[in-house]
Amino acid sequence: MSVGALSRRRNALWYAALVHRLSGLGLAVFLPLHFLTLALAVEDGARLDGFFRFADMPAVKLGETGLVFLLAVHFLGGLRILFVENFTWRGNQAKLASAAGGLAMLLAFVFLIRVL
């Protein structure tokens, strides 16, 4: 691997792109589980109540916080990409990517405080 390729991989925007793709994959893995829960709501109320008892566990709440982070970072990263692609602005993209990550962490932390 060339030195130029390694230096690009240490760039904040490369990490922002990586986080955006990984968060999209994480959300894609979650989506079938979400549909399964919706199916429980339609088909069997007793099983849905059991699922809600499971979802009230602290470890699950922590997992939900991670899901909120993934959703926020993917959404904000997507907005950043749309902004960069549709306007002529190109400067300070790394700062905008860092701000998107920081805001996603803040939103996840606020969610965690609210559910505990």
pLDDT tens-digit series, residues 35-67 = 988 888 888 888 889 989 999 999 999 999 999
pTM above 0.85, yes or no: no
Q: How many domains would you assign to the chain?
A: 1
| Cβ proximity of 14 and 94 under 8 Å | no
- What is the C-alpha separation between 114 and 10, in angstroms, rounded? 35
Q: What is the pLDDT of residue 71?
A: 95
The enclosing domain of 96 has a CATH number of 1.20.1300.10
Q: What is the pLDDT of residue 93?
A: 82
Confidence band of 20 (pLDDT split at 50, 70, 90): very high
Reply yes or no on whether the pLDDT at 3 is more than 60. Answer: no
Q: Which domain holds residue 33?
A: 3-115
